[in-house]
Amino acid sequence: MPFASIRIITDDVDRLAAFYERVTGLTAERLAPVFAQFAGPGATLAIAAPATVAMLGDALAPAANRSIVVEFEVPDVDAEYGRLKSSLADVVLPPTTMPWGNRSALFRDPDGNLVNLFSRPA
Protein backbone atom coordinates (compact mmCIF):
# COMPACT_ATOMS: atom_id res chain seq x y z
CA MET A 1 0.00 0.00 0.00
CA PRO A 2 1.76 3.22 -1.12
CA PHE A 3 1.80 6.18 1.22
CA ALA A 4 -0.07 8.99 -0.57
CA SER A 5 -0.12 12.17 1.50
CA ILE A 6 -0.34 14.02 4.75
CA ARG A 7 -2.87 16.83 5.07
CA ILE A 8 -2.60 19.75 7.47
CA ILE A 9 -5.87 21.45 8.38
CA THR A 10 -5.44 25.18 8.91
CA ASP A 11 -7.53 28.30 9.33
CA ASP A 12 -5.20 30.16 6.92
CA VAL A 13 -4.44 28.14 3.78
CA ASP A 14 -2.74 31.09 2.07
CA ARG A 15 -0.33 31.72 4.96
CA LEU A 16 0.60 28.06 5.41
CA ALA A 17 0.96 27.45 1.67
CA ALA A 18 3.26 30.48 1.39
CA PHE A 19 5.36 29.15 4.30
CA TYR A 20 5.80 25.73 2.67
CA GLU A 21 6.56 27.40 -0.68
CA ARG A 22 9.50 29.12 1.05
CA VAL A 23 10.61 25.89 2.72
CA THR A 24 10.36 23.64 -0.34
CA GLY A 25 11.11 26.13 -3.11
CA LEU A 26 8.03 24.78 -4.92
CA THR A 27 4.85 26.56 -5.92
CA ALA A 28 1.75 25.08 -4.33
CA GLU A 29 -0.88 23.65 -6.63
CA ARG A 30 -4.07 25.52 -5.71
CA LEU A 31 -6.94 23.22 -6.67
CA ALA A 32 -9.45 25.43 -4.81
CA PRO A 33 -9.23 28.45 -2.49
CA VAL A 34 -9.58 26.05 0.48
CA PHE A 35 -6.88 23.60 -0.68
CA ALA A 36 -3.22 23.62 -1.71
CA GLN A 37 -0.78 20.79 -2.29
CA PHE A 38 2.88 20.09 -2.88
CA ALA A 39 3.29 16.89 -4.88
CA GLY A 40 6.76 15.43 -4.73
CA PRO A 41 8.50 12.14 -5.10
CA GLY A 42 7.17 9.74 -2.51
CA ALA A 43 4.19 11.68 -1.14
CA THR A 44 2.12 14.85 -1.22
CA LEU A 45 1.84 17.52 1.45
CA ALA A 46 -1.71 18.90 1.37
CA ILE A 47 -2.93 22.02 3.16
CA ALA A 48 -6.66 22.47 3.59
CA ALA A 49 -9.24 24.60 5.33
CA PRO A 50 -11.62 23.09 7.89
CA ALA A 51 -14.41 23.30 5.28
CA THR A 52 -12.77 20.39 3.42
CA VAL A 53 -13.37 18.07 6.37
CA ALA A 54 -16.57 19.56 7.81
CA MET A 55 -18.31 16.18 7.54
CA LEU A 56 -15.94 14.86 10.23
CA GLY A 57 -17.27 17.21 12.91
CA ASP A 58 -14.67 18.06 15.51
CA ALA A 59 -12.31 15.20 14.62
CA LEU A 60 -9.75 17.73 13.36
CA ALA A 61 -8.71 21.08 14.81
CA PRO A 62 -6.36 23.56 13.11
CA ALA A 63 -3.11 24.45 14.89
CA ALA A 64 -3.62 21.83 17.61
CA ASN A 65 -0.96 19.25 16.71
CA ARG A 66 1.89 18.15 18.97
CA SER A 67 2.35 14.61 17.70
CA ILE A 68 3.78 14.61 14.16
CA VAL A 69 6.85 15.93 12.40
CA VAL A 70 6.70 17.01 8.74
CA GLU A 71 10.08 15.96 7.35
CA PHE A 72 11.97 16.97 4.22
CA GLU A 73 15.25 15.37 3.17
CA VAL A 74 17.66 17.99 1.81
CA PRO A 75 21.22 17.74 0.50
CA ASP A 76 22.62 20.38 2.91
CA VAL A 77 20.76 21.17 6.15
CA ASP A 78 23.06 24.04 7.07
CA ALA A 79 22.55 25.79 3.72
CA GLU A 80 18.76 25.36 3.85
CA TYR A 81 18.63 26.57 7.44
CA GLY A 82 20.72 29.60 6.50
CA ARG A 83 18.36 30.35 3.61
CA LEU A 84 15.26 30.13 5.83
CA LYS A 85 16.49 31.33 9.23
CA SER A 86 15.37 34.95 8.89
CA SER A 87 11.79 33.87 8.10
CA LEU A 88 11.49 31.30 10.91
CA ALA A 89 9.63 32.49 14.00
CA ASP A 90 10.12 29.38 16.16
CA VAL A 91 13.37 27.44 15.82
CA VAL A 92 13.28 24.30 17.97
CA LEU A 93 16.73 22.95 17.09
CA PRO A 94 19.34 24.65 14.91
CA PRO A 95 21.38 22.37 12.62
CA THR A 96 22.57 19.49 14.79
CA THR A 97 24.06 16.08 14.11
CA MET A 98 21.73 13.53 15.66
CA PRO A 99 23.01 10.43 17.53
CA TRP A 100 22.05 8.22 14.53
CA GLY A 101 24.10 10.38 12.12
CA ASN A 102 21.45 12.49 10.36
CA ARG A 103 21.93 16.24 10.44
CA SER A 104 18.67 18.00 11.32
CA ALA A 105 17.19 21.45 11.83
CA LEU A 106 13.74 21.63 13.43
CA PHE A 107 11.32 24.55 13.52
CA ARG A 108 7.60 25.19 13.71
CA ASP A 109 5.39 26.28 10.84
CA PRO A 110 2.95 29.19 11.41
CA ASP A 111 0.34 26.77 12.86
CA GLY A 112 2.85 25.22 15.29
CA ASN A 113 3.47 21.96 13.40
CA LEU A 114 7.03 20.70 13.79
CA VAL A 115 9.12 20.65 10.60
CA ASN A 116 12.42 18.76 10.25
CA LEU A 117 14.90 19.42 7.48
CA PHE A 118 17.42 16.59 7.52
CA SER A 119 20.25 15.08 5.55
CA ARG A 120 21.66 11.60 5.87
CA PRO A 121 25.34 11.02 6.63
CA ALA A 122 27.63 10.69 3.62
Percent of the chain with pLDDT over 70: 100
Domain 68-122 indexed as CATH 3.40.190.10: no
Domain definitions of the chain by residue range: 1-53, 68-122
Is the pLDDT at 40 greater than 90? The verdict is no
pTM of the model: 0.92
pLDDT at 1: 82
CATH of domain 1-53: 3.30.720.120
Q: Alpha-carbon distance 9 to 56, whole Å? A: 12
Is the pLDDT at 122 greater than 90? The verdict is no
Q: Alpha-carbon distance 85 to 22, whole Å? A: 11
Mean pLDDT of the chain: 95
Is the pLDDT at 22 greater than 90? The verdict is yes
Is the pLDDT at 48 greater than 90? The verdict is yes
The helix/strand/coil state of 113 is coil
Ranges of beta strands (E only) in the chain are: 5-9, 29-32, 35-39, 44-48, 69-73, 91-97, 103-108, 114-119
For 39-63, what is the mean pLDDT?
92
pLDDT at 69: 95
The H-or-E segment that residue 83 falls in is: helix 77-84
pLDDT at 82: 97
* pLDDT digits 0-9 by tens, 57-85: 989 899 998 899 999 999 999 999 999 99
